[in-house]
Structure 1
Amino acid sequence: MTPLTPSNPLTPATPLTPSLTRRPPCTLLRHGHRVVGTYVHRPELPGTVAPRPYLHPVRTLGGVTVTGLRPAEDPAHLGVSMAIPEAAGWNQRHLSWLLRDPDGFVEELSWTAGGRQLLLERRTVAVRSLGTECWAMDFTSALTNVTGEEIALGGAGHAGGGFFWRVPRRPEPAHVFSADGEGEAAVYGRPADWLALATDDWTLVFVGATGDTRADPWWVRTGDHPGVGSALTWQRPLPIAPADTVTRRIVTAIADTRLSHPAAARLAAQLSDRGAAV
């Protein structure tokens, strides 16, 4: 996945004390008394890695980290985030909180290029309980065109854009399967109601929770660059008319064990807006 490239590097704020220089502003997500995710809404990163808000670390209820941050081979991969391939240079910036609770938040963000605001995003992230060994992250992004003219997200030849989850590298790659296939070749670049990555330590089940989200192809890698994305753009631009809104919703179950295909399907049925039809 190619992340958006900001037009201007983000200038770090002046630290109040030396201990804060490596701790940008963040919001903690909790499941009961456990911290299961950290959301960095004003990252202090070089412009070369497309600074944008991201979630890292995200953990299972047992404390296992299931996100990766700026690996050497992909320094622009930032945990769980939203990105759009765009050669002109788009910058994503936190504007305000509409709601911020221990188990979730609603945020407004601005997407700009060349000093001009193109999109206003309303992002909702919520923690959902699924028992003692599993929880779910409910991630919704609503992008509104505020330019007064049609714009296009992505571009020809881009395979990606949208929601992306970088997972840590492992000696043994995760097993990938979906509602419709098994193995990376069988699921890459194809729509599916849900997709899972399973290891001996954890399983992630990514569920398209709206019809438009389910229609987007999945980007998935399990080897040297492991991660999963729900591709908002795929080989062609996505046009948005003036004042129109594009909404995508991914609900991700995060389990402390290796789940079988039937178990992942049952979780997906709980988390989809189509219920047992998944």
Structure 2
Amino acid sequence: MKPEPPTVLRCAGRTVARYTTRPGLAPDRSPRPYLHPVTTLAGRPVTETVPADHPHHLGVGVAVPDVAGHNFWGGRTFVRDRGSVALDNHGVQRHDGFKLCDPDGFVEELTWTAGGERLLREHRTVAAVALTGTAWALDLTFSLTNVSGRDLSIGSPATNGRPGAAYGGFFWRAPKEPTAPVVFGAGTGADGPGADGGSGADGGSGADGGSGADGEEAVHGARADWVALAGDGWTLVFAGATARTREDPWFVRAAEYPGVGSSLAHDQRLPVAAGETFVRRVVTVVADGRLDRDGAAALVRKAVTS
């Protein structure tokens, strides 16, 4: 891909993100558009790209480790009974153009290709929404259509035999700091944290706050209305903004590295028939300072209904 200048995203009169459409990355990084840096309204960075611990992590975007055996995540591929293996199976998310590009958001068309084959067509919408004087929201929706002419399925390392690693879909890599971020969330769904081995939640009242769940183990793999990371002077609150998105468990890392994403393929592969389209929407509150559970819940309600 030929690098292009980033597209600037603004909110409340301030630059809050830059979007790279055609990154100049090696094939094994699974080149794809991404947002970085993303900042709070006060200018504090809350994303990281190409970190030493996972050089294929690229700020905020959409990444899937297994689309019919093709890697759109970057790095090694987890293969059942073999482990993580370096394979020549990396795909590319090609930026085809903007249908709309305003200072506070854009509508983008992309094509996911691998091995010379068009697999998926994506329609992506990104918007920056002002919430308060210290918080804004990044609203990201992606719609993926199977254009391969055959049935496909989406998998993850978890569905390929690695428990607890059901990443794939929306993903946000946060900056690594000397101390791991605090993790907390709303109350989880009735089935708790699913198959990822978390310890579950202690009830709670969903998006209205309540007791919720605390800690990486409790939130990782949970089906919750929202989850939060709170670092040094910043808080990120991730919310599934549609009923179908809220059915996807959350993938959460804090101790090893700070990152939150959705799990399109949690305990089984996600089938995508020829011509079929599926849609996910995640709204992320980006706040200065340390939010408590009630504050996070209030901003989520405002962000999702804005």
Q: Does 1:168 align with 2:175?
A: yes
Out of 59, 62, 68, the position equivalent to 1:79 is 59
Match of 1:190 in 2: 222
Q: d(CA) in 2 for partners of 1:75 and 1:253? A: 25
Match of 2:139 in 1: 138
Quote how far apart the aligned CAs of 1:91 are.
Answer: 1.8
Q: d(CA) in 2 for partners of 1:199 and 1:76? A: 22
Q: d(CA) in 1 for partners of 2:130 and 2:12? A: 9
Q: Secondary structure at the match of 2:51?
A: coil
Task: Give the AA of the match of 1:254.
Answer: V
Task: Give the AA of the match of 1:142.
Answer: S
Quote how far apart the aligned CAs of 1:26 are.
Answer: 1.3
- The gaps in structure 2 that reach 5 residues or longer are 71-88, 188-212
Q: d(CA) in 2 for partners of 1:134 and 1:71? A: 26
Greater shift in the superposed pair: 170-179 or 101-110 = 170-179
Q: How does 1:76-225 map to 2 (within 5 A)?
A: 76-86=56-66, 87-88=69-70, 89=89, 90-155=91-156, 156-157=159-160, 159-180=166-187, 181-225=213-257
Q: Secondary structure at the match of 2:153?
A: strand
Q: CA RMSD in A?
A: 1.5
Q: d(CA) in 2 for partners of 1:233 and 1:52? A: 20
Quote how far apart the aligned CAs of 1:229 are.
Answer: 0.5
Contact 1:169 1:224 in 2 (8 A): no
Quote how far apart the aligned CAs of 1:230 are.
Answer: 1.1
Quote how far apart the aligned CAs of 1:29 are.
Answer: 0.1
Match of 1:40 in 2: 20
Greater shift in the superposed pair: 156-165 or 169-178 = 156-165
Contact 2:185 2:227 in 1 (8 A): yes
Contact 2:169 2:264 in 1 (8 A): yes
Q: d(CA) in 2 for partners of 1:112 and 1:235? A: 25
Q: Does 1:239 align with 2:271?
A: yes
1:112-158 Cα offsets, whole Å, 9 max, x none, are 12111111000000010101110000000000111232210125336
Quote how far apart the aligned CAs of 1:33 are.
Answer: 2.5
Greater shift in the superposed pair: 64-73 or 194-203 = 194-203
Q: d(CA) in 2 for partners of 1:154 and 1:41? A: 25
Q: d(CA) in 2 for partners of 1:265 and 1:126? A: 20
Task: Give the AA of the match of 1:92.
Answer: Q
Match of 2:296 in 1: 264
Match of 1:52 in 2: 32
- The gaps in structure 1 that reach 5 residues or longer are 1-9, 14-23
Q: TM-score, normalising length from structure 2?
A: 0.80
Contact 1:197 1:203 in 2 (8 A): yes
